[in-house]
Structure 1
């Protein structure tokens, strides 16, 4: 399969601190013509990304949805998600890029479940508005300055790691306040178990009753939990998950609808086309053509 939308890999520029990079948004805009793939065109990330906007207004694409951004907006993009920028005049900000290994290492240092909202991108919006009282701009500016400061290796790594944990924890805290109706309860934990099992099994089974049985609960109870967490039925969530995976595959390669149908676990390609069109309004090929116009 030839890729039409590239996976953007992480390349660290710091020999002292592997797994994290801090870049000015303006620099990416200035140097976009030198990149092998334009940051204004859709691309799939092989790392995690926090974007903090300090000036201007624009939009950022995350998994086929354009989100309006402005000063003091944070956009979080997980590994595997589709991303793109619109570099409007006057747009400024910072990008904090980090690998999965770096994230795991840092999460081990912060309280359990602190990052639950940032690590479940299909559950929460990727956009966060930061109030001035959060002091987040100061920490973001400081981590940028410390990252490029020529200091002793140990101190530099320790300082950057500490600032990253503060920033990550603060963004999660803001996110928690925005979604305070969703508690870190047994219901949320059950939903996350459902989500994790779905990721591994959706190609083989798209039946909500199957997942209820696998989780040791009734179909009715699973539906109640999913509705409380995301205001959708378990089946609706399964369908949205499958469609998102199909969309990523469609724009990410030259794969044909018939191949994608089998990849998504459909025995008959025609059934996949009907399934996709019912939920998106497009045939798989039609979606690909429509999306490539953007």
Structure 2
């Protein structure tokens, strides 16, 4: 039995790859037994990924939650998230993989709102359901055709970049209708400040008052912002953030729950076990055993 959930690095078979790749779901399914890790088993991504399902029905695991997928379902995952496919013979579609460096290199060509929507794992659902009228698939197919063309590689990088930007613009338009509250920019900006503070300080404090003070706002105001943006209280958001970090650490290291408790800022291991069980119904050890 594997002791840890695998950490999958970006590894393109194409020479001199700049950090982006596209493949079909069927090609991954056909060679699932030939690669180092079975993609149907939970694994952590060291890159960003977009999956566009074009046919069939199944489920897709994102950060320990199975999501129903069907024709025109789009799944987007950020670096560090937990991923797993559930293949069947009818399932078809495309998978776009790109590194953090590639994203940063082309960040100025991408819609700002889309970066917030797609690459904010704690903020939005990883699912977009495109309508039958959407033409985003046309550009993904063009990208796949261009990427697969090994005979005409002159200026391909510029073509990739152009299609990448178009695909993201199309996704931004699709996601906009599912995240209308993003237009409330003042509250969104404050929420993103809160999230940034939480990422840096969650080991130090899991108290909502701490973050409200850091933001120079009241606890009540922070709660209002969180309820408006993500439909939970500030404390609920903090707890969900900490639990997700704990799950990822549990499945990606040899660390024992006792050591993990201290590394997450709990004064006593028993407090962490109670906290984890309260929010997941599992003890840390039983959760790790169940998933691996």
Query: Above 0.5 in TM-score?
Result: yes
| Aligned equivalents of 1:124, 1:31: Cα separation in 2 | 32
What residue is the counterpart of 1:67 in the other structure? 67
Please give the alpha-carbon distance, in whole angstroms, between the structure 2 residues aligned to 1:154 and 1:184: 44
Cα contact 2:110–2:168 (8 A) shared by 1: no
Residue in 2 that maps onto 1:49: 49
Aligned length: 291
Segment of structure 1 superposing worse, 163-172 or 185-194: 163-172
Spell out structure 1 runs of 4+ moving beyond 6 A.
none
- Whether the 8 Å contact between 1:17 and 1:157 is mirrored in structure 2 is no
Q: Name the residue aligned to 1:8.
A: 8
- How far apart are the structure 2 equivalents of 1:232 and 1:78? 22
Q: Does 1:288 align with 2:284?
A: no
For residue 269 of structure 1, what is the aligned residue in structure 2? 269
SS at match of 2:15: coil
1:16–1:157: 8 Å Cα contact kept in structure 2? no
- Give me the whole-angstrom Cα distance separating, in 1, the residues matched to 2:181 and 2:174: 13
**Which structure 2 residue ranges, 5 or more long, are not aligned?**
none
Aligned partner of residue 113 in structure 1, secondary structure: helix
Q: Is the 1:3–1:254 Cα contact (8 Å) retained in structure 2? A: yes
Query: Which residue of structure 2 aligns with residue 246 of structure 1?
Result: 246
RMSD of equivalent CA atoms: 1.5
- 1:250 is displaced (CA, Å) by 1.4
Q: CA-to-partner distance for each residue in 1:180-233, whole Å, 9 max, x for gaps? A: 133251101110111111111101111111111112212111111011111111
Residue-by-residue CA offset, 1:64-109 (whole Å, 9 max, x unaligned):
0000111111100110000000001211111000000111122211
CA distance in 2 between counterparts of 1:248 and 1:180 reads 30
In structure 1, distance between residues paired with 2:169 and 2:78: 16
Gaps of 5+ in 1: none
Task: Provide the TM-score with structure 2 as the length reference.
Answer: 0.95
Which secondary structure does the structure 2 equivalent of 1:59 belong to?
strand
Matching residue of 1:227: 227
Distance verdict in 2 for CA 1:4–1:160, change over 3 Å: same
Q: Distance in 1 between matches of 2:165 and 2:279?
A: 39
- Cα gap change, 1:252/1:159 in structure 2, threshold over 3 Å: closer, same or farther? same
1:125 correspondence with 2:125: yes
Question: What displacement does 1:3 show?
Answer: 5.5
Moved more, 189-198 or 246-255: 246-255
Secondary structure of 1:213 counterpart: helix
TM-score, structure 1 as length reference: 0.95
Question: CA deviation digits over 1:263-285, x for unaligned, max 9?
Answer: 11111101101111111111111
